[in-house]
Amino acid sequence: MAHSICVSLQSLSIVKIISQTSKLDSDSISLESVDDELTILEPISTTAEFGFTIGAPVAVLQCISKIDKFRTKIRHGELNQDVDDIVENVLYRLRDCEGTSLAKFLNLSDPIGEADNLTSVVSDHIFHQEQAFIYATYVYLYRNLLNAPPCSVQPYVQQTFEQYSQFASTCPGNFSLWPSFIAAVEAYADEDLEAARNWLESMVFCGIGSRKSVKRVVEEVWRLREAGSRTSGLDPGMIIIDWREVMHKLNCDVLLV
């Protein structure tokens, strides 16, 4: 019974964290609600299963939640810390998580071929989803706290879709929606757009009907970026489009899990 309650709380917390990322700056999100979410998250996030179903390491989910907390403070004009210091703190945690994920994967890998195929596939499955979440959180950090243009996060977009490609070639099942979406809406280089389109087609084919709305939002972001580039004469990588505003205008309230 206690285990079931814990799992339910974990699932609700994950949904809350990810849904928070879709909130517009104009939405009424109190700092108290964000702080409450972080407080609730602390005791249950220490369990081994937390974040497993969505494919994200605990530390990455905490980083996402913290980014939204600081995004809210910036919007309310209540940030009493230097943004660069905050960014560096989150970057430190993400780099540590990146190394931990890689070390865990290498430890689970079987260099002498004694592990069965299922163990190998599960290990790959976990690793690629974790790495995608990490790279997408880099994107989310720079875009939300520094308002960096797509060209500044392009390497992380590329890395996110590289993880998707590796996952799709070796692992059964669906790839996590959040990291792929966060990367796709910032894609502008030809190779990244192609990778994002491949993901979109796979996602719509394998997913439920609401994922068509996700595709619609991503493609509208691309259209607006291209239109903005033509109008301004700027490279598409310099055109910032707020995907939350696009989602709102299209009346697509999609939960990215």
For 197-212, what is each residue's pLDDT tens digit?
999 998 887 656 678 8
Euclidean distance between CA atoms 99 and 142, whole angstroms: 20
Alpha helices (H) in the chain, listed in sequence order? 2-20, 31-44, 58-76, 83-108, 117-145, 150-170, 177-184, 190-206, 211-232, 243-249
Q: What is the pLDDT of residues 100-135, one digit of tens each?
A: 988 888 876 555 444 455 455 668 888 999 999 999
Are 247 and 217 within 8 A, CB to CB? yes
In the numeric block, the tokens 């390491």 are attached to: 57
Cα dist. 39→56, 61, 65 in Å? 19, 13, 11
pTM, two decimals, is: 0.86
Pick the closest to residue 20 from 54, 61, 59, 49 (CA basis): 61
Instruction: Tally the C-alpha atoms within 13 A of residue 240's C-alpha that lie toward its C-beta.
Output: 11
Are 10 and 49 within 8 A, CB to CB? yes
> Does 255 score more than 70 pLDDT?
yes
Cα dist. 15→20, 53, 163, 179, 230 in Å? 8, 11, 23, 14, 38
> Does 79 score more than 90 pLDDT?
no
Euclidean distance between CA atoms 3 and 8, whole angstroms: 9
Q: How confident is the model at residue 8 (pLDDT cuts 50, 70, 90)?
A: low
Higher pLDDT, 172 or 40: 172
Instruction: Work out the average pLDDT over 60-88.
Output: 90
Euclidean distance between CA atoms 89 and 41, whole angstroms: 19
